[in-house]
Structure 1
Amino acid sequence: MDMPILILLTTQILLPAFFLVWLWLPRPADRLAWAMRVFYGACYVAFISVIGRWDFLSSALAVALPILFLACAALSFTRVYNRAWDTSTSMVRSHGFTAAMAVFFLALTARALSGYGYQETAVNLAFPFGAGTYYIGQGGSTTSINHHHADQSQRFALDIVALNALGARASGLMPKNLSDYVVYDREVKSPCTGVAISTHDGVENNRISQTNTEEPPGNYIILACGTARIMLAHFEKGSIAVTGGGIVTQGQTLGRVGNSGNSTEPHLHMHAYIGGTVDYNAGQGVPMTFDGRFLVRGSTVTIP
């Protein structure tokens, strides 16, 4: 099993299951022991609900898991409600580690949530896809929820996938066929009216889990929309439908989603920057909003 999948299953399935079972077994000695288990479990569930990649399993689980945990916590209280509040000889010795770990995950959650906002002036764009439900795999203003944020020009970049009826991005955890990914070969539409100042085509798709680090964006388009430059990357080879210097209108088809460049699976990479012109590494990244909405990891967008 691939290491990323093993980590995902551990953090998003096994550990939440542990905290659910721990509410019941072994039976808490007193109400304080129960409360500390609930506190620790709630902090972890909050953390993984925010930073988890739920599109691998089902985006619905990000909402279902906290509800399930709260319900189980309430039910588990019936086993200890008539017990003493604290029977331990030392609160620090009995509950210090649990409290410290709970605070640790609470701090990580707060750090991730700090990426839900921005201070800079944003560029408002149209969402680059047609009908369907889409999920933001990377996005936000902190590295906790957006691995692009450490890069100056890509600070507010998005990685976008599409979801099936089950809320998953693909048929299986890591299928080998590109066509098993919902977003693959889907039309990408221009998020604004402007000029295609640079395009590149001819880069082959990668196999799943492999990347092309020599040509990071793969097949891409850079649009000039007002003072902002919008880069869209990882297109399917031969699908780019505009030429450099051509005028594009909002909603016009630009190409189709592929898996070219530094991409382990089909998705659309998109970021906005100012300065740098056609050198997407030299610009200063700026936030993007879509109908005024700032998208972050875990955001879903449904286009009727």
Structure 2
Amino acid sequence: MEMPLLILLTTQVLLPAFFLLWLWLPRPPDRLGWIMRVLYGASYFAFIAVIGRWDFLSTTLAILLPVAYAACAALSYQRLRGRDWNRSPSTMRAHGFTAAMAVFFLALTARALSGYGYQDSAVELAFPFAAGHYYIGQGGSATAINNHHADQSQRFALDIVALNGFGARADGLMPKELSDYEIFDREVKSPCTGVAISIHDGVDDNRIFETNTEQPAGNHVILACGTARILLAHFRKGSIAVAAGSIVSEGETLGRVGNSGNSTEPHLHMHAYLGGTLDYNAGQGVPMTFDGRFLVRGSTVTVPQN
């Protein structure tokens, strides 16, 4: 089993199942013990709600699991209503570890939530896809929710995937065929009116889990939109539809999503930067907003049919 899949199943399936079961077995000796279990579980559910990649399983689970936990917590309390408040002679010894773990996960959640805002001036752009449901796999201003944030030019980068009818990014957890990924071969639209100052095509699409680190952006387009430069990367080989130096209009098709470059599965990478010009690694990353919305990991975007 691939390590990312193992981590995913552990953090978003097995551990939530453990906290649900722990509400019932073994039965807490007193009401304080029940409260500490509920707080511990709630802090963990808050943590995975913020940092989880729900597009792998289903975005519906991000809503259903907390609701199920709240319902199970309420039902489990019915078995303890007549019990003492606290039977332990040492509260710290009995509940100190549980309390510490609850604080730990709440602290991690707060750290991740710090990435929901930004201080810099943002570049307002149009969302780069037509009708459909989309999910932000990487995004925000903190490394906890955006793996790109440590890179100066990619501090506010986005990785975008599309969702199928089940709220998942693919037909299966990690299918091997590129066509099983909902976003593969989907048209990428220009997020602004500007000039295509650089294009690169001809890089082969990777197989799933394989990457091309020598050409990290793969097939890509760099747009000059005012003072900002916008990189859109990992296009499908041979799909780029604009020429270097051409003027592009907002909403014009740039190409199609592929899996070229440093990409393990189909998605669109996008970031805005100032300076650097043609070197997308040399600029200063700036935030992007879409209809005034700053997108972070877990954000969903629905683009209606025209």
Q: Same fold (TM over 0.5)?
A: yes
Does 2:288 align with 1:288? yes
- What is the match of residue 125 of structure 2? 125
**How far apart, in 2, do the equivalents of 1:105 and 1:58 lie?**
23
**How far apart, in 2, do the equivalents of 1:261 and 1:120 lie?**
29
User: Residue 207 of structure 2: SS of its match in structure 1?
Assistant: coil
Shift of 1:81: 1.4
User: Residue 85 of structure 2: SS of its match in structure 1?
Assistant: coil
After the TM superposition, list the runs of 4 or more consecutive aligned residues in structure 1 that deviate by more than 3 angstroms.
none
Shift of 1:13: 0.2
Report 1:158-237 matches (<5 A).
158-237=158-237
Equivalent residue letter for 2:154: Q
- What is the match of residue 41 of structure 1? 41
**How far apart, in 2, do the equivalents of 1:64 and 1:152 lie?**
37
Query: In percent, how many aligned pairs have the same letter?
Result: 78
TM-score (normalizing by structure 2)? 0.99
**How far apart, in 2, do the equivalents of 1:66 and 1:24 lie?**
16
Report 1:144-155 matches (<5 A).
144-155=144-155
Shift of 1:89: 1.2
User: Residue 301 of structure 1: SS of its match in structure 2?
Assistant: strand
Report 1:107-118 matches (<5 A).
107-118=107-118
**How far apart, in 1, do the equivalents of 2:126 and 2:13 lie?**
35
Equivalent residue letter for 1:166: F
Does 2:7 align with 1:7? yes
Equivalent residue letter for 1:61: L
- 250-259 or 65-74, which deviates more: 65-74
- What is the match of residue 93 of structure 2? 93
- What is the match of residue 243 of structure 2? 243
**How far apart, in 1, do the equivalents of 2:66 and 2:111 lie?**
19
**How far apart, in 1, do the equivalents of 2:146 and 2:132 lie?**
23
Does 2:31 align with 1:56? no
Equivalent residue letter for 2:286: V
User: Residue 20 of structure 1: SS of its match in structure 2?
Assistant: helix
Shift of 1:265: 0.1
Work out the number of aligned pairs and report it: 304
- What is the match of residue 142 of structure 1? 142
User: Residue 55 of structure 1: SS of its match in structure 2?
Assistant: coil
- What is the match of residue 104 of structure 2? 104
**How far apart, in 1, do the equivalents of 2:22 and 2:282 lie?**
50
Shift of 1:75: 1.0
Superposition CA RMSD, Å: 0.5
Deviations along 1:230-281, one digit per CA (max 9) or x if unpaired, are 0000000000001111000000000000000000000000000001111111
**How far apart, in 2, do the equivalents of 1:156 and 1:75 lie?**
42
Equivalent residue letter for 2:132: G
Q: Structure 1: which 5+ runs fail to align?
A: none
**How far apart, in 2, do the equivalents of 1:71 and 1:232 lie?**
43
Deviations along 1:156-209, one digit per CA (max 9) or x if unpaired, are 000000000000000000000000000000000000000000000000000101
**How far apart, in 2, do the equivalents of 1:61 and 1:152 lie?**
34
